[in-house]
Structure formats: C-alpha cells, structure tokens
Structure 1
Amino acid sequence: MLIIPAENRPDWKKPPLITILLIVINVLVFFVYQGKDPKKLEQSYQWYGESGLVQREYEPFRDYLRRTNPVLLQQLDAEDEEGAPAASALGAQFTHSANDKDFIQALHKELDGDPQWRADRARFEQLINSLSDRAYAFNAKEARWDTWFTSMFLHGSVMHLLGNMVFLFIFGFALEAAIGSGVYLLLYLCSGLGGTLLYWASELGKDSSALGASGAISGLMGMYIALYGLRKINFFYNVIFFSGHVRAPALIVFPVWVGYELLGSWNGGDGVAHWAHTGGMLFGFVLLAIWLRFGLKYDRNYVEKIDPDAPFKSAHARIQELMVAMKPDEARQKAMDLVKAMPQDARAWRTLYGVVKISPASREYHQIVHSLFKQAGNAARDSDMHGLMREVAHDYVQIGGETPALTENVSLMLAQRLGRVEHIKPLAAVVERLLQRHCKHEAMPRILQAASILSAKANLGHQAQHFRAQLEARFPDSQEARQLAAHPAA
C-alpha cells in the first residue's frame, strides 16, 4: 500500500537546504562509511580461518547446536564431505560465532583459559564490532545513548536507502518550506528519537537491532498531517492493482498510515521495524500539533496555496486593461492606489511610472518621478528599487526642458547613487542641477570629484575638466580638490 501527498512542488528559488543536507548525509554515510563493511566482513572471515578459531570453536559449536538446534546440526552433518565441514557449515559456524551472543558467552566460558584463543578471539570480535550495524545501530538490549541518534543515519541496503530518501524528499521539502528549516530539523530528530523509543519499548530486553531513517521520516508524515489537518489535499495512492489520485482531508489518511504500521507489527516477520515507524509518526504528529497550538508561525500562504502576489497581479492586469482601453486617467488613479497599497514594492512604482511616462510634459509626471526618487532614496537595500531609479534617471534627463523633480535633496541622493561610468549622462545632469543651485552640501566635493573621474573614464575630457574646475573653484580647500591637484592627469 502506498499513499503519499501530491499537493506541492519544490520551489528551487528557495531550495529545501536542510532536506537536501539530510539526504546528502545519509547517502555519504551509506556509501563512504558503510561501504567499507564488505571489506571488514571479509577480513573478519579471513581472520576466523587463518587464526585457527574455526578449528578451536568447531566442537564447542557442535555441542551448542546439540543443546539448542539439533535440526540445524543434522542438516550440517548431512552436508559434510569426508569429515571436513562444507561451506554452509563454515558459514553457519562463522555466523553464530559473530552474532549469537549465547554461543559467544558459552565460548568464553569454555575457552577463556587458553590465552592464545583469547587473543585471537579479541581480534576477531574487534573486526566484527567495527561493522556499522554493530557499532552504531540501535540495539534494544544495550540501548547505548549514542545509537539513538546514529541509527537514524544508517541503512541496510541500497533499496532501503533509496526508498527512505524518496520519502524524505517528498515530505521534507514541503514541511521545510512551511514551518522553517530550524523547527523542521528539530522535529525531524525528535521524531526519530520517538520512533526509537517505541521500538525499544516493543523489544525491551531482546537482543534485536534497528537502523534507518524510517522513524524520523515517519515523523515527517505525521507532521504533514498535523500541518494540513482537515484541509483537503491531493494524494496519490497505489493499493494492490489500483492507483490514482484522490482529494481528501489530510487527517483522514493518518489512521490509515498508523493502522498499516500496526498491522505490520502484528504480523511481523518482514524485517521492518513497524513500531519505530508508528512511534515516529505519532511523535511527529503530536509535536507539531502542540507547537501549532501554542502559536508556531508557519507559511500560511504556502499551506493554503495563497499567491502573495495576487493583489499586485490583479491590479496590474486591470491597469493594463485601462491603458488598452485608452483610459489613462483611470489607469493613473489605479496605479497610484497600487503604490499607496504597496509603497515598498518596485513593481508597483514601475507600473505607475509606465502609466505617466507617456505624458512627460504633465505636472503629474514630474510629481511621480520626484516621489519615486524619494522612495528609492529611502530604500537603502532594495536593489530592484535602485535599478528602477537609475532607469528613470536616464529617461528623465533626456526629456529636455525643466526638471522640477530634481530638487536639491533628490539630486544629492541621485548623485551618490549613480557613481558608475554607464550612468555618467544622468549623473552629469544631476551635478549640473546642483551647481546651478549653488549647493554647498558637504558631499559636493566628493560628488564633483566622482563626476570628473567618471567623465574621464567615459572619454568625456571637456566634461571631466569642467567638473574639476568647478571643484577647484568652489571647494579649493577640500581634500578632494587637493587630491586632484596632486594628480593632474586624473
């Protein structure tokens, strides 16, 4: 049975960095760290034979099977060839010697008196215990504190890893976008711990181990349901031979997921830690539900698929319609209303400017350009607004005639924002405006110096000399004038 949400798509303009990081960590752990396991296992098998452990433990192994599993002993005896153990017998002895703790305890009790065996056995156990599942998987009997975390990043096979990473991405990118990276990562880890806790409770005292990110990922499934609640969302399902899409309240799917895991735990025998899945799912659901109840801020627009740009898009479309219908006055009023509603948005100002620039001789045109320049001056870190300001500055100085929008304060601001060679034309016009006004502002020497240098770079020698002369004449004692005097070629 497969039921997964099909409600959202990743926004690669805002990539799910934590989800991607978790996937990368899991993949690296599997292929870089766990990828060494086959070689370690081969070394331990080779040592088991070369050290003589296989011969010394042969009779204790047979005695152990007589007591605990006579059927297996009969099968192995039937496969013996001329008294030498067959490959299956060697494999069975090696497996028990490496993993059967009751047999290992019996070996130590019987053979500890042999120093050579103790030394060889210690080396063998060191090799076996270096395997990833022995070192860092969660064992219900030992319950080492570090393995509560490390087991979340181990996997038993490529398919185990692949399946988990697909589900991690499907649920992870949406949750990270909705609740934020920090809360998402915290609840992911807490869900993994919750899954391990329920697995431990279900296997208490047993020598059984679990590994994998499934508990934490099941927590993401529970969190997803808690986030969407009774909202209807799209699900993809595949049950036996039936598959398709269905739109239903998210909460309806939660008991289906939990019931499926409980059924799996009841049947057992499939090698899946269903209790870890159940625990993770329940923890994830409860933790996020409580957090939301106590006021966790989440992206409601993302969850409810509200387009934050809808007001702008609607107003912009209406303004375009009015312009096409040759109703510029109504369009201008609508554009001014849009700017009042969104004064910080460069798109709103661009829309208004697009309406008024068709009448550059009108009083409204100059008023709006002046207001736009002032707004851009106040938006110190808005690159979109600054880009629009430079575009309008280029247009404005080309219309000729009076430029009432270039008040002293606006001209000072523009002169300090147009400090690049490609903006030399509007810069020169603004600086001339300031000179005409006999501006004495403390920034003027710096502005004149910049205008002179940029004019020279633009191969406008006469203009460069003009601004230099103005600097030396009006501000002869300024540092900038002294610098130009010290470098005549500047």
Structure 2
Amino acid sequence: MFIIPLEKAIDWKRPPLVTLLLILGCAAILFGGQHYENRKYAAQFDFYFASSLPHLELPRYATMLNDEEEDIDPESLQALLNTDYRQLDEPRQYFLQGLLLHMQNNARFMARLHDGKIVTADNAEFGDWQVQRKRFDALTFQPVNKMYGFTPAEHKPLTFLTHMFLHGDTGHLIGNMLFLFLVGFTVEMALGSALYLLCYVLTGLAAVGLFWAVNPASEVPLVGASGAIAGLMGLYAGIFGLRRIRFFYSLLFYFDYVRAPALIMLPAWLANESYHMLTMPDSNVAFIAHIGGLLSGGLLAALLQRFGSANIDTAYLDAAKRDEDKQQRYRQAMQFLGALDIPKAQKLFQELHAEYPNDRDILWQLYHALKHDPGSADFYRILVEILSLNDNDTQTLKQLNDAFGYYLKAQPGKMALESTCLHHLAIRFAKYGYPENAERIVLALLRCNPELADLDKTLFAVAVAWRRRANPTRCAEAVALLQKYFPKSHVLIQARLFAKANEF
C-alpha cells in the first residue's frame, strides 16, 4: 500500500534548498562512489581471472556452498573457468564476478583460506597460489557502503550518521529521493531550513537506533535515507495534524485521491510498515528503521506543537484551507452579482479584496460590482487602483480604457490621479491603440504639468496612434500641439521628417 501526500506545490521563488541539496548529495555520493568502486572492481576482476586463483579457489568454494544446499553445477563452473574470461558474454562474467564477491564476503571461508586450510601446503601450486593471493589481497578494498554503512555488530559512531546518505543502487536512490522530494519540501517550508535539517538528522538517528536495538548482532550494513525520510513523513502528519489534505493512495490494484486529516497518515504508515515487517521477514528493507523514523517524527511534531509552535509556519500549512475558503466566498459573491444582489456582492468582494489585495480577478469583480454605484467613494478608490495597474495584456488594456471613461465621468473636469500615473497610462493607451483617452490625458497634463519629462514623446506616440487609426486630421492636430508646446524637441524634428516621408 502506498500513501503519498500531494497537498503542496513548490514555490520556486522560495525553493527548498536543504531538500534539494540532500537529493543532490545522495546522488553524488552514490554515482561518485559507484564510479570509484567500479574501477577498483574492474582491476580486481581482471587480475583475478587472469591468474590461477579461480581454478584453485572457486571450485572449492562452490563445493562448500553445495554442501549448504546451494546448487552450483561443478561441471558448468569448470567449463567457465577453462574459458578465457574476456571471451565470456556478460551474463557468465557477472556470474563469476558474483561468485567471487560472495566468496570474499564469506568471513568463515576466507579465514580458512588465509590459514592454508582450503589450498593446502601439499598442493603442488601452493607456493604460486600464495604469491598470487597476496597480490590479489593488495587489490581488495572496503566498499563505501561497508565502511560508512551502519553495521550493528560493529556500530562505529560515525556510521550512525553516514549511513543515511548512502544507497545500495540507483533504484534504491530513486525510490528514497522521490519520497524525500514529495514530503521534504513541505516540511522544510513549514519549519525553515535549519530546523528541518536538524529534524532530518534526529529522526534518522532514531531510526537507526531502533534498528540497532532490534538487530544488535547483524553484520549486514544498513544504508539508505529511508529512516530519516520516514521521520519526515511522521513530522508531516504531525505538523499538519487535523488539517485536511489531499493524498494519493493505492491498495493492490485500486488507487484514488482522497482528502482527509493529515494525522491519519501516521497510523496508516505505521500499520503498513508493521504489516510488511511481519509478512516479509527475509526482506532486505529495514522496516523497523522506518517504524523508528515514523515514531520519532510524530514525537518531534508533538514537541514542536507544544513547545516550539512559533517555529512552525502555520500560514503556509493553512494556505490550502484559506484558498478553499477564498474560492467558496468568491463563488458566493459571483452568485450575488449574477442575481443583482449588489450590496451583498459589493460587501463580499470588498472583504476578499482586503484579504487578497494582489488578486487581479477579485479586484476587477469588485470594480464591476461597484460600477452600479459610480458616485461612491469606494468606486472611485477602486477605479484609481485599477488605473494604476501595470498589466499590458490585450484584455486588461481594453478594460483599462473602458474604466478610464468611468473615471472621467466620476471626476468631470479634473484628473486626480498623479501625473506620473496618468502619463504612464497615456503611453500605454497610445501604444496599444486607444488614442482618444491617450490624447485626453496628454491635454490635461499639458495644462497642469507641461514640464513633465518625456511628455513630448508621448504626444508623438499619440500622433502615430491616430495615423494607425487612419485619421490624418487628428494626427496632424497632435503634431501641431507638439510644435506648439515643444518647439525645440528632437521628437518634433522626427515628426517633421516623418511627415515629409508621407507617414502622416
């Protein structure tokens, strides 16, 4: 069973840096370590299978395995050893490599081999075997996962930490990093990068601690970030608490999306890990470490809620609920507007605009609602706000042009907007095909603030806009105004040249 929360989307303006660095770090360690180890193993295999060691060691090891109920055909093995290793296809090379590594990792067999109890002194090739075995032993090395993975029987202090940055293979890495990405970025945004990293490490230590307590004598190294990631999952469920979130789940061949309180994921995840631990006792997956991570993550979330709530960004956690509430109120306001229940629509849109002042859609709907009362101070205030927008898409500019007409009706004979705002509006009107209002603004500015910078350029833009509208009379009037008010402007020189070229 899979349960994956899908409540949040990443805000790339505020990226989850620690989560991304953890993913990149784990990937770099795996692929960098793999590259290093692959070269080392290639040197080992080349030397080993070019020597006489395979003939002396591998058949004896295969016999020991067969005595322990393994099934390696001696004749097939001998046929492989009698063939040039470099001439074998990849599957048969991999078989021999795997058998060699299996032998090298069998501590009991290797102890007897080095004690001279496998290839004995009465063997005619004993001396040659000793020389070649010594040279081969010099090529052996400790794999990264063996050195820095957590082995309970040895429990070196450093490996309590380092094991959570190691992975067995690419599939292991991808599976862990997918869950880290889906869960980690949300927890990081809610807790902040520093506290998030601390919780990641603490839950990883708790996970490996429980694994050690349950398997104290194990000699198999534990590697992987899954214990720490399980801790983040426990944190996720705990800090969201009873907030309803959307998550994906699958059960056998059935899958669906559902919205439910986040906290129910914690017992669901615990039950899932416990079930797999009991039904898959021989699995290589450290289910007990996952349980340790989930429990410690849930406990940390409870402690943060109780003693460190100031460190939790509740606004971020509540964003989905606020958005749902916003959409519900918006729909209700639109229903009021459609039913011409104007006072209720105005009141609800005003409340929404006060809470979400940057939401353009709400602003325009409030404007439409207030248009039913064009003489009100609220209408004029929103009108001024709309005319101050910097959006340049075609629909918005058309709406702005229409709104400016209402602005002139609301303020007959004067323009109370700041000169710079009016000037910017005139430039946009002229550029995007609305010369009537652009000219009105320029004429008003010529009366009240003729020294405004670049007003001559705007008047020239009005002339060009009239020409595009195939109105040479209005175009000529604009050029005349340009000559009257700005006789020394370099733009006037351009206009005259433009006129001589029959552009006007």
TM-score of the aligned structures, taking structure 2 as reference length: 0.66
Distance 2:76 2:324 in 1: 83
The 5-angstrom pairing of residues 18-417 of structure 1 reads 18=16, 34=34, 44-55=44-55, 80=74, 94-101=100-107, 117-123=133-139, 125-126=140-141, 129=142, 133-134=145-146, 137-140=149-152, 141=154, 143=156, 145=158, 148-149=161-162, 151-156=164-169, 158=171, 160=172, 164=176, 167-168=179-180, 171-172=183-184, 175=187, 184=196, 187-188=199-200, 190-199=202-211, 207-229=219-241, 250=263, 253-254=266-267, 257=270, 260-261=273-274, 264=277, 268-292=281-305, 293-294=307-308, 295-299=310-314, 302=317, 306-308=321-323, 310-311=325-326, 313-314=328-329, 317-318=332-333, 320-321=335-336, 324-325=339-340, 328=342, 339=353, 345-357=359-371, 362-364=374-376, 370-376=380-386, 390-397=397-404, 404=411, 407-417=415-425
Distance 1:212 1:453 in 2: 65
Distance 1:401 1:291 in 2: 57
Deviations 1:326-364 (A, max 9, x none): x556655665566566655433431232134467xx534
On the 8 A contact 1:265/1:273 being kept in 2, the answer is no
Distance 1:291 1:80 in 2: 62
Partner AA of 2:229 in structure 1: I
Shift of 1:413: 0.8
TM-score of the aligned structures, taking structure 1 as reference length: 0.67
The worse-fitting range, judged by mean Cα deviation, of 23-32 and 160-169 is 23-32
Distance 2:244 2:407 in 1: 59
On the 8 A contact 1:155/1:161 being kept in 2, the answer is yes
**Please, which of 426, 438, 442 is the counterpart of residue 448 of structure 2?**
438
Question: CA RMSD of the aligned region, Å?
Answer: 5.6
Count how many residue pairs are aligned between Structure 1 and Structure 2. Answer: 463
Structure 1 residues without counterparts, runs of 5 or longer? none
Shift of 1:291: 3.3
Determine if the alignment matches structure 1 residue 447 to structure 2 residue 463: no
On the 8 A contact 2:234/2:297 being kept in 1, the answer is yes
On the 8 A contact 2:462/2:478 being kept in 1, the answer is no
Deviations 1:221-240 (A, max 9, x none): 21133124456778888889
**Please, which of 436, 439, 443 is the counterpart of residue 428 of structure 1?**
439
Shift of 1:107: 5.9
What's 1:4 paired with?
3
On the 8 A contact 1:23/1:165 being kept in 2, the answer is yes
Distance 1:83 1:402 in 2: 98
Distance 2:13 2:131 in 1: 59
Distance 1:363 1:52 in 2: 102
Change (3 A) 1:261 1:428: same
Partner AA of 1:271 in structure 2: N
On the 8 A contact 2:442/2:455 being kept in 1, the answer is yes
Deviations 1:133-165 (A, max 9, x none): 45764445374848934653524474x456545
Partner AA of 2:297 in structure 1: G
Shift of 1:217: 2.3
On the 8 A contact 2:150/2:222 being kept in 1, the answer is yes
